[in-house]
Amino acid sequence: MESLKDALEKVRKELHKFPEVSEEEYETKKRIQTFLKEHTSCKVVPVAKTGLLAIFNENEEGKTVMLRADIDALPIQEVNTFEHKSVNEGISHKCGHDGHTTILLGVAKLLTENPLHKRKVLLLFQPSEENGRGAQFVLEDPSFKELNIDYVFALHNLPGFTKQEIVVKENEFTSNVKSVVITLEGKTAHAAEPEKGYNPANAIAEILHFVKKETKNTPENPDFFLATPVHIMMGEKAYGVSAGYGEVHLTLRSWSTRLMKEKQNKFEQLLQKLQEKEKLSINTSWFEEFYANKNNKEAVEYIKSAAEQLNLSINEINTPFKWGEDFGLFTQQFKGAMFGLGAGKDTPALHNPDYDFPDEITVTGAQLFYNILKEVQQ
C-alpha cells in the first residue's frame, strides 16, 4: 500500500512538471480534481474560474474552518535538470506552490481516512496568488459568498529556516505591497533645442528623489516604508532628439495599511504638481496589490498548540516578512493566520531558478494543518 509520503511526493512532482501561471491553471485544476476524486470523499466545487473548493462535513453544525493553498507558478525559466523539471518553457514552480497544493491534498486524504466531526472544513485551492488577484476572485465568487467562515489558515514554505520549523507571529506576518507604473507624456524636440519640447527627465529625477526621501527601510519599526524602483525608461537612443516620453515602475511596501494610503496620496499629489510644472501628461496605473497578513492572536495559538503536539520547533519571529502574499485579503476579513514552514537552511531562495520544494516537509505540513483543524473545535 502506498504511503502518504509516497503518494504526495508523486503528485507534487507531477504538479511541478506541468506548471501554469496565474489565471491559466486549467490543467493544474484538473490534476487536483483527479487526486481528490481518487483519494478523498469530499465535495468539490469550482471557484474563481481556475480554482477549486473541497468541502468536508458540509452539513455539520460546528465551526467552519478554511485552509488555503495557492496553485499558480511563475514566469521563470527553470535551470534544474532532475526528472520532474518543468516541461513548459519559461514557467516553473519557484515559489513552492506545487508543495503548498500537495500539502492540502494530503490534508484531504487525512480527513477522508480520519474524519473530523462537529466542524465544516473548506480546502481552498486558490489560483492567481502571484499577480495578487486570486483572493479577490475567490471572495467575489457567488459560491464562496454563501459560506460563513469562522477561521482561515495558510502556510508558506520558508527557505533559510530549518526544515520542519514552524514560524509564527501575531499581527502583521507579511507586508502590504502595491506596484505602480507612472507614464510621463511630453513632447519631443531637437536635442539642441530642448526648450521647444517637454522632456520628462526632470520629473523622473524628482520622482526618484521622492522615493529615496520617503523610504524608511527599517523592518523592525512600525513606520517601515520601502519604495523600490524596478524599471525606468525614457526617450530613444537618438542623440539628436530630446525625449518626449518616459516611464517609472515602482513597488511600495509597508506594514501599515494606513501608512500605505498616506504615502500613496502624498505621491499622487507630487505627480499632480509635476504635471503642471513640467507641462506633462502624467498617468498612474496601480496593480498587484497585496494586503498585509494580519494574524489573529487566537489563531496563532491554535497553530502553536498543533505544532507542539507534533513536537515541532516553533520560531516566534519579531519582524514581518517584506514580501506580499494575497492571503492577506482573507485575514483582513476573517479571523485567521498565515505561518511559515521551514524549507531548509541551504535551500535556494524563493523565486531562484534552481529552487525546488523539499518533499521532506510535505507530510509535516499536512499533519500540522490537520491538527489545527482539531484544535479550533476545542
Q: At what angle do helices 97-113 and 26-39 cross, to 10 degrees?
A: 20
Residues 6 or more apart whose Cβ sits within 8 Å of residue 213:
none
| DSSP class of 2 | -
Per-residue confidence (pLDDT) for residue 378, from 0 to 100: 57
- Please tell me whether the overall predicted TM-score, pTM, comes out greater than 0.85 for this model: yes
C-alpha cell at 155: 502556510
Can you give the pLDDT at residue 59?
83
- Displacement of CA 53 from its chain's centroid (Å): 18
Q: Give me the tens of pLDDT residue by residue for the chain, a chain 378 residues long.
A: 579 999 999 999 999 999 999 999 999 999 999 999 999 999 999 999 999 999 999 888 889 999 999 999 999 999 999 999 999 999 999 999 999 999 999 999 999 999 998 899 999 999 999 999 999 999 999 999 989 999 999 999 999 999 999 999 999 999 999 999 999 999 999 999 999 999 999 999 999 999 999 999 999 999 999 999 999 999 999 999 999 999 999 999 999 999 999 999 999 999 999 999 999 999 999 999 999 999 999 999 999 999 999 999 999 999 999 999 999 999 999 999 999 999 999 999 999 999 999 999 999 999 999 999 999 965
CB 186 within 8 A of CB 197: yes
Q: Name the segment(s) of the chain with CATH classification 3.40.630.10.
A: 4-173+292-377
Which three cell numbers, joined as nine digits, stand for 61?
A: 453544525
Region(s) of the chain under CATH 3.30.70.360: 176-289
H or E stretch at 178: strand 176-185
Dig out the grid coordinates for 347 from the structure. 535551500
Write the CATH number of the domain with boundaries 4-173+292-377: 3.40.630.10
The CATH fold assigned to 176-289 is Alpha-Beta Plaits (3.30.70)
119-126 vs 63-70, strand pairing mode: parallel
Whole-number pLDDT of residue 142: 95
